[in-house]
Structure 1
C-alpha cells in the first residue's frame, strides 16, 4: 500500500511540473469564487478550482489568467462585489440582460487596469457611477445604459483617452454635462470618442459650449429626453464629423445657431419638442440629411424656407406645430427619396399641388389643421394625403383626404423561406426556415431611424440579412433570425422584436447565448445605415439543456485507481519525459519556421524566387484553421481560379478575408508571391491592406482586411442590397482613382495593377472604395521605354486593346480599364452584356448637342434620378477619354483624379471629405442576399484572348 502511495506522490509532483501552466492563477480563482458565492444561477459547470483548465462557461483565459467574463441573458442575479478587483488581467466584462444583477458598482472596479470593455446593458444596477471608472485607461467600450444609475456623470470619464463608445442612456442620471476646468477632467477631453449616448435621463442645465470643438470626432450626439435648457451652443457647428444629432424633448430655447449647416455629414437631425424661437434653421448644403424633425417649437416663421426642397437625400420632413406658413412648392414632392411630409398644425395655405413627378417612395402627406383651400388632385395611385381641418374639408367633404385614417401598426414579420411552417409544441416557435426551436429573444431599439415607412418589407429583410451575416462571420450556431412588430415608443425609438434561432439543435447552450448577447451589446453588429444607432435588450433564456458537473468518485474507486497508477508509474514517467522532449522539439521547429516562413519555398517552380517582405505578419496554418472554424463551408465567401476565400475572426476580434490557394497551383504560387510582395510595401487608404500571410504545411494563404460591403460590382447589380446614388458613385470613383494613382505615381517602383475592374474595387462599412487583388500586378522598374513587354493577362471587357495587340503593358492600360469602370458607374451595365460592348453602346447613344448628351437611354435610372446638372456629361467625357484606342490620347491617373474632384465640386460635394453615408437598401433588392465577396471579388482571371472577345472593331 505504501509503495503505490509513494509512486502516486511522485506522479502528482511530475504532473505539476509539466502541467502547471494549465492551472488558473490563484488570485483569479479566488476572485471568481467570491463572485460565484455572491451570484445565483451561475452556470452549472462552475465547479472545481480550475476555471481556465475546465472551461467554465462565460470565462475566457490567456494562459493562466482570466481575461474575459461574458454572461449575457442567463438569469444571473446578485451584486457585483468589490472582489472583482482580484481579476487584474480582465479585459472584458459583459453581464448584460441579467435584470437580477442589482446594487451599486463597486469603486474597486477602477483597479481593473487592463479592462477594455465594460458592458452592463439592461441590468438592474443602481446608485451613482463610481468616479474610479476614470482610471480605466484601456477602456474602449463603456455601456451602462438601461439600468437605474443616479447622480451625476463622473467628470473622471474625461480621462479615458482610448474611449470609442460611451453609452449612459436610459438611466436616472442628473446634474450637468461635465467639462474640464483646471485640473478637473471633463467630456470635452474625449476627442477620439465617436458616440455620446446620454438620452432618456434627467440631465439639466445648459449644454456647455466647451463640450464641442473642431478636435472632437463625434459621430452620434444623443441628448434626447432630458431636462436641458438654454441655447444650443454655436460651437456644435465645429464638429463636422457628426452624422446623428438628437437634442429633442428638452427645454432648449433661443435661436438655432446659424452655422448649423456646417454639419454637412449629418443625416438625422432631431430638434423637436423644445422652446426654440427665431427663424427656422437654414439647412442648405446638408446634402446627406435625410430625416429632419423640428416639430413643436414656437419658431418665428414668415414663409416656406427655400431649403425645404433642396435636400437631395431627404426621406422625412417633420415640421408639425412650427408656425410654418405659405404654399408648399411642387418641387418638394419630387425629391427622389422622399417618404413622409408631416406639417400639421401650421399655416400652410393655397393649393396643394404635388405635381406629376412626385417621388415614387412618397407614402404620406399630413397637413391636418392648416389653411389649404384646394387640391390639384392626380388620378391613380398616390401617397396618403390628410387635409382634415383645412378649408377644403370644412363643408363636409367626403373625399378620402377629408377623413382621418385609422391608426394601424405595421404587422411585419419574417416570411417563411420557401417552406411550409409546421405546427410546434406550445413552448417552441417556428423559425423562418420552418424548424421548431427555442429562440433567444429580445428587443432592438433604434434611436434614430432615417425612414418612416414601416411597411417596407425590404428594409427589414436587409436588417435580418445583416444580422445573419454578423453571426455567421463570428461562427455562431445560428440557423436564422426574425424581426417583427415594428413600433415607435414614447421617445421616438423604433422598436423591433428579435428572435435568434439555434442551428443543429432546438436550443442554445450558455456559451452560445453569451456570445450572441456580446455581439449585440458590444456593437459588433452593424445594422444597415437607415436604422441608425441601436441598443439591444435581451430576455432571460430559460431553455438550456441540463448540464451536470464532473462525477465524484467514491473512496474505494480512488484506491483502485491509485493502485493501478502505482503499478504503472514508471511507464508514465518515461512517457511524460518523452512527451516533454517531443514538445520542446516541436517548439524549436516552430520557432525556426516563424523566423524563416519561406524556408521551404522552391524557386525552381513557376512561383519565382523567395518573396521579399516588408513587415507583414506570418500566420501559422493552425491559427488560420482556428479562426475559420476549420475552413468550414459556412465561412466560405468566394472562389476562383486561385482557390477559395474564407471569412475569419482573429483572436483580437478583427474580421479578415483569407484567400487560400489550391494545393499544387504553380500559377497560384506566382500570384501569391506577387501579392504579398506588393501589398506588404504599399499602404494607402484606398488600397485593400494585407494583414498577413501563411506559408505553412504546404499552404499558401493571404489574409486581408475584411470589406463588409463587398464589391462595387455587387452594389451596381443590386446583389448586395446597397443603393448607390450619384453622389456615392462619385465618391467611390474618386477613392478608386486615388488608389490607382498611388500605384502609378507614389509607389517605388511604380506598379501597374493590370486587372482594374468593378469586382476588384471593394467597399468598406462607409462605402469608401479600396482597390484589391494584386495577383497580376507588374512593377515598372527603371525602363526608358515606359512599358513592360509581358504576356497578356487581364479580364475580358476591361482589357486595353493596345496592350493586347502589342503585349506592351503601360500605366495607360490601367487607365483604359478604369474608364470601363467609370462607364459601369454611369450605366450599371457589365462591360460586355448580351454581345454588346459598353464603350460602343455609349458612343452610339451620345449626342453632345442634346440635353444630357442624349444618354438617358443608357444611364442607370438611379443616376438619372438624382444627378447634379452637368456632372453626368463631364463624367461621360472623362470615361470616353480613358478608353481611347491609343494610350497616348488617354489621361494620366493624376489627371483622372483631378477631373473627378472637379466634377464633385460641380455637384456640390467636397472631394476632401470621406463618405459619411453607409449602405441603403434597394426597394427592388433580391431576397436572396449574396455575401459581399462574390466569386470574382478577390481573384483575377488570366490567360490569352482572341480578338472576338475584345472591343468589336
Structure 2
C-alpha cells in the first residue's frame, strides 16, 4: 500500500475517534515504535531534531530509526547513539541544544563543514560521557561555553579554525583527562587562565600534551603558574597573539617539551637561562617579539633542529659558542640581532643543516664555508652584514649564498653571483604522474596513477616542521608514502597527491593534499567522513620531521549516494515509525514542556524564598543583585553564633560587631552584624553583597551569604582565623611577622587588588584599602575584605568615575580628594601607604604626623636601608639581611606619587613585589599553604596558630624541608 495513502487514511480515522481511543492509539503506537525500532526513543528524537535543522544531511537519513536504518555517520551500541562523525559532508545549519539528549555520546566530529555556524550550546556540558569533541574548520562563533568544563571524560578537544570569541574558559582546567587541547586560529581574547584556589585554570592540566592557542588575540602575560614540573606537555603553541611581559622561568621545568612557539607576540625581558634545560626541544620559535638581555645560551639543547629568534632587541653579542655544538640543526634564523664576529666554519659542517638566515647583523671578516660543509645546505643569507671576503670549500659550494649589502659586494667583489638576489623561487613541488597522462572530464582530476576521479581535497598545515629546504623532493615522497599507508587502512585509496608547498603568513608550512578513490571515480559518504575523521582526530601521524599539524578539508560535493538499507523486514518498521514518530515526538515535547515548566516554577519559588526576608516594605530597587550568595534567616545566624555570645565576639567597628559562628554543615564563618545607627547604610550593605557574590580570588575574602531579616542586616563571610594585618603589626594577634612574611602578605594583597582592577568585569575600585581590611588566614595568605565602599568603574572610556569622596584619612588619595574623580590609581595610593605601614607598624596619620611625609624627609639613598632604621618596626628582623628592602621602599614611593599618572598599575606592583621576594630568597609562586602544611598537619584544632616552629614560613621552596615533614 502506498505510504502516503496509508497516512491519509490514518488521519481520517483519527478524526472519528473519541478521546479514549486517542489515548489508546497513542500508547499502542508508542509501544509499536519502541518494540520495532532499534534506537532509543530519546536518542531518535534528538537526532531527528538535529536533522531537521541541517541541510545536506546524508542521503540515507530517512525514517525515525537512526540505529536501525544505519544512518551514515551514526554509531550505536545497545540502541544508544555513541558516536556522530560527519566530517566534510557539506552540512549547513546550527548545533542545537537538543544535543544534550544524547547522553551516551562518546564522540562528536563535525569538522570541515563550513556551513555549520552559530554558537556551541551550553547544554553540551550535559554529555558526561563525551571523550572526543572535534569541531575543526567550521564557522562556529560566539563564546566557548564554560559548561564545556563539565565534560570530565574529555580526552580530545579540538575547536581550532573557527570564529570563536571571548576568553578561554577557565573551566577547561577541570578536564583532568585531557590529552589534546586545540583552540588555535580563532578570535579569542583575554588572558591565559590559571587556577587561584577559587577557580580552575590551564595549569591543572598536568596530563595534557598539547597546548595549541596560536593565531588568536590573547593578551596579558604568560602566567608563571601556567607551567610546572608535573606537566607532560610536548607542544606549547602561543604564537601570533598579543601576549606581553616576560617568558616565565617555570617554562624550563617542563622537561618533556619538544616544540615551543611564542613567536609574533610582544614578549619582553630576557629569555630565562633555564630554557637551556629543555633538552628535548626540537623547534624553538621566539621571533618577532621585544626580547632583551643577552642572546640565550642554547648549548644544552642538543635536540634543536629549528631555531628562529629573529627581530628582537637582544644585547649586542659575539658569535655564540653554541653555533658549533648543535648536531641536529637544520634551520638557523637569527636576523636583525646585532651579533658580531666571524662565523665559524664548523657551523656549516652539521650534516642536517639546510638554511642559515643571518641577515642584518654585524658578522665580519671572512665567510669560510669549510671543506666538509653539509650536503643538505641550500641557503646562506648574510645580507646587510660586514663580510669582506669569502672562501669556498674544496669542491666549491654552488648553492645559494646572498651577500648583498656587505663590503665584499660594495667594493665590487670577484664573484658577483653572491651579490645578486636570484629572481627564481624554489619550484613548487607537485606529485608526478607515474604513467602516460590521459585527458579527464573538466570536473575530474588526474591521479598520479592516471585515473580520472573526484579527489578528496584540503590543506595540511604543519605548525613547526624541522626542515626548511622546501625543494627537497625526498621529504615530500616520505610524506606521501606515510599518508597513503595510513589512509589505506580504513578507506579504499588509489593514490595521494601533494602540491604547492609554501610558508603561510603564520609561519606554517601549507601543502595542498588530494586523496584519490580506488577502483571508482568518487568516494561515498562513509569514505568522506572517515577521511575527515582520520585527519581531524590526528589518527594520521606524519613523519617526525613534519611536526604538529592540522588539516582543513574542503566540501566534497561529488559524493556517491549511499544505497538505502536492504533489510526486508524494515518496511513495517518504517510504516510504524512514520505514524508513531509523530505521536512520540508529541508526547516527548509535552513531557519536556511539563518538566521545564516545573523547573521554572521551582526556580521562581526558590527565588521568592531567597528574597522573602527582605521585607514587604522594601522597594525592588533596594534588593541587591544576587549571584550565588545565600540568604540566611536571623534565627539561623542567632543559633550558629550561640545567640551572639561574647565568647564568639571577634571584632568590632563603626558598623557593629563580628562574631564567629559554625553553620549546620560545620563550616566556620564570620558574621558581621550591623548595629542600629551604624554608619554602614543600606547602599553599602547591598554593594558588598553584589560585588562579593561575583568576584572570586584566593586573595579576596569569600562571602558566604547575608541576612536582612527582622530588621537586622548581617553579612556572612568565610572565617579567616588570624584576624587583621593591623592586629599582627600591633602585636595584638601574637603572630610575629618577619620581613619574608610581610612580603608574602604584601604580595597577596596586591594580587587581590590587581584582580579587582584588571580581571573583574567591570573593573572595581576598593576605595578603602587599609591594614584593618587585610585579613590573614591560617597560612598567612592575605585576603582583602570590606567592600562596602567599593565602586565599579563601568565602561566609561575616560577610565574614571566622579563620585562622593569616601575612604579613610591617612590612606586617602589626595588627587581623588581634590577632584572627586575615582580611578584604580586611587587604590594604588592607598596600597602605597599600606606598604609603608607594613614596614613601620605605625598608623599612617597620628598626632599630625603623616607616614608618607616622614619617610620622604628621613630617606637617604646613600645609607644602608635608606637610613630609615628609626622608622622601621623592630619585629621586622632588624639586624638580619632584608633582601630587596630598598626596592620595596622605592615601590612604595612610586605608589604614593601625587599625580595618579606617575603611579604604577597594580599588575606592575605585583611583578615588582615578586622580584623583591626573589631578592629576599623567596619563591613568589610557592604556595603559602604548602609551606605551612608541615606545621599544621598534626594539629586537630583548625583555630590553632601554625607557628610552633618558626622555620615553617622561612624557606623559599615549594616543598617543606624534610625535618619539618609531618611524622
Quickly name the TM-score band, shorter chain normalised.
0.5 to 0.7
Counterpart CA distance in 2 for 1:154 and 1:18 is: 42
Residue 107 in 1 paired to residue 122 in 2? yes
Counterpart CA distance in 1 for 2:384 and 2:60 is: 64
Conserved? CA contact 1:353–1:376, under 8 Å: yes
Higher RCO structure (Cα 8 Å, ≥6 apart): 1
1:506 shift after superposition: 0.5
Equivalence map 1:235-250=2 (5 Å): 235-250=250-265
1:346 shift after superposition: 0.6
SS of the residue aligned with 1:284?
coil
1:20 shift after superposition: 4.2
SS of the residue aligned with 2:487?
helix
Equivalence map 1:929-948=2 (5 Å): none
1:470 shift after superposition: 1.1
Select 1:507's aligned residue among 514, 522, 525.
522
Counterpart CA distance in 2 for 1:253 and 1:550 is: 63
Residue 459 in 1 paired to residue 475 in 2? yes
Q: 1:105 to 1:23 in 2, by over 3 A?
A: same
TM-score by length of 2: 0.55
Residue 202 in 1 paired to residue 217 in 2? yes
Aligned match of 1:402: 419
SS of the residue aligned with 1:450?
coil
Select 1:471's aligned residue among 487, 504, 509.
487
Conserved? CA contact 1:341–1:365, under 8 Å: yes
Conserved? CA contact 1:253–1:277, under 8 Å: yes
Structure 1 unaligned residues grouped into runs of 5+:
6-11, 563-953
Counterpart CA distance in 2 for 1:184 and 1:81 is: 28
1:548 shift after superposition: 6.6
Q: 1:211 to 1:14 in 2, by over 3 A?
A: closer
SS of the residue aligned with 2:42?
helix
Conserved? CA contact 2:337–2:361, under 8 Å: yes
SS of the residue aligned with 1:47?
coil
Q: 1:19 to 1:32 in 2, by over 3 A?
A: closer
Conserved? CA contact 1:162–1:192, under 8 Å: yes
Residue 528 in 1 paired to residue 561 in 2? no
Counterpart CA distance in 2 for 1:15 and 1:504 is: 45
Counterpart CA distance in 2 for 1:503 and 1:27 is: 39
Say which one has the larger Rg: 2
Aligned match of 2:595: none
1:407 shift after superposition: 5.0
Counterpart CA distance in 2 for 1:442 and 1:392 is: 46
Conserved? CA contact 2:445–2:455, under 8 Å: yes
1:386 shift after superposition: 0.5
1:193 shift after superposition: 0.2
Aligned match of 2:249: 234
Equivalence map 1:570-719=2 (5 Å): none
SS of the residue aligned with 1:518?
helix
Residue 333 in 1 paired to residue 348 in 2? yes
SS of the residue aligned with 1:464?
helix
Q: What are the superposed Cα offsets for residues 830-855 of structure 1, whole Å, 9 maximum, x if unpaired?
A: xxxxxxxxxxxxxxxxxxxxxxxxxx
Q: What are the superposed Cα offsets for residues 19-78 of structure 1, whole Å, 9 maximum, x if unpaired?
A: 948610000000001101111111121101111011111111112011111111111011
Residue 389 in 1 paired to residue 405 in 2? yes
Counterpart CA distance in 1 for 2:561 and 2:225 is: 56
SS of the residue aligned with 2:243?
strand
Conserved? CA contact 1:316–1:340, under 8 Å: yes
Aligned match of 1:294: 309
1:479 shift after superposition: 1.4
Structure 2 unaligned residues grouped into runs of 5+:
7-26, 577-967
Residue 413 in 1 paired to residue 400 in 2? no
SS of the residue aligned with 1:173?
coil
Counterpart CA distance in 2 for 1:75 and 1:428 is: 19
Aligned match of 1:35: 50
SS of the residue aligned with 1:229?
coil
Counterpart CA distance in 2 for 1:256 and 1:355 is: 32
Q: What are the superposed Cα offsets for residues 92-123 of structure 1, whole Å, 9 maximum, x if unpaired?
A: 11110111100010000000011100000000
Aligned match of 1:62: 77
Q: 1:470 to 1:20 in 2, by over 3 A?
A: farther
Select 1:118's aligned residue among 133, 148, 157.
133
Equivalence map 1:39-438=2 (5 Å): 39-378=54-393, 379-397=395-413, 399-417=416-434, 419-438=435-454
Conserved? CA contact 2:342–2:363, under 8 Å: yes
SS of the residue aligned with 2:219?
strand
Counterpart CA distance in 1 for 2:485 and 2:368 is: 44
1:472 shift after superposition: 2.1
Q: What are the superposed Cα offsets for residues 317-369 of structure 1, whole Å, 9 maximum, x if unpaired?
A: 10001111110011111112111111001101000001101111111100000
Counterpart CA distance in 1 for 2:566 and 2:324 is: 73
Q: How many residues align?
A: 547
SS of the residue aligned with 2:220?
strand
Aligned match of 1:447: 463
1:182 shift after superposition: 1.3
Conserved? CA contact 1:21–1:63, under 8 Å: no
Q: What are the superposed Cα offsets for residues 908-952 of structure 1, whole Å, 9 maximum, x if unpaired?
A: xxxxxxxxxxxxxxxxxxxxxxxxxxxxxxxxxxxxxxxxxxxxx
Q: 1:550 to 1:333 in 2, by over 3 A?
A: closer
